[in-house]
Chain A
Amino acid sequence: MWGTFWVWDARLTSVLILLFLYLGYIALHDAFDDPARGARAASILCLVGSVNLPIIKFSVDWWNTLHQGSSVVRLDGPAIHPSILMPLLTMAVAFTLLLVTLHLAAMRNEVLRRRVRSLRLLQAQAAPGA
């Protein structure tokens, strides 16, 4: 038990920054009238923001804070009891599969959305007086 809902721990803070990067990515992507320009700006932010990933991974090693050190991916094997480790890994695989499926479905939706957009542009160009 940590005994607190929030603390400015290195792991928690670096993951909070990741959340802000995600929100910034979404906001930047939608901030341009031209979707291509929005996608380019967002991809640059994505590349810059990926610097945060190794910081999150190694934050528990670099700083001695409330969060425990590495307990799953370790050279000497996981430090977690199998009764907790197995459900943890099972749910990690399950959530990964669920989110990959949802991501693929959302990509299909995006393809359809772009098709709608191009058809509406065609319709506008074909309209009398256009």
Chain B
Amino acid sequence: MSLGPHAAYIIAAYGIAFAVIAALIAWVVADYRRQRRILADLERRGVARRSANIRPTPIEGTA
């Protein structure tokens, strides 16, 4: 397939678009993994949200 006299511009435009989209996806995925890693580290050190420390109280007459 001949891209004509503007082949360089067309190929460059596709290349830049692919690179930017790939970088965007990699950035979001890397950020997710980083936040998960930090959370796992904090939980390993015993830091938990207040809501995570609340134990459900048994309803009267059922326990």
Contact = CB atoms under 8 A, between A and B. Distances in A.
A122 B32 contact: no
B47 interface: yes
Question: Which secondary structure characterizes the binding site on chain B?
Answer: helix
Interface in A109-130: 109, 112-113, 115-116, 118-120, 122-123, 126
Contacts of A74: none
Contacts, number: 40
B28 A106 contact: yes
B35 interface: yes
Question: Which secondary structure characterizes the binding site on chain A?
Answer: helix
Nearest to A108: B32
B35 A116 contact: yes
Interface residues of B, number: 17
B35 A122 contact: no
Interface size of A as a range: 10 to 19
Contacts of B32: 105, 108-109, 112
A98 interface: yes
B37 to A, nearest CB: 10
The listed residue with most A CB atoms (<10 A of its CB), out of B24, B29, B35, B39, is B35
A119 B24 contact: no
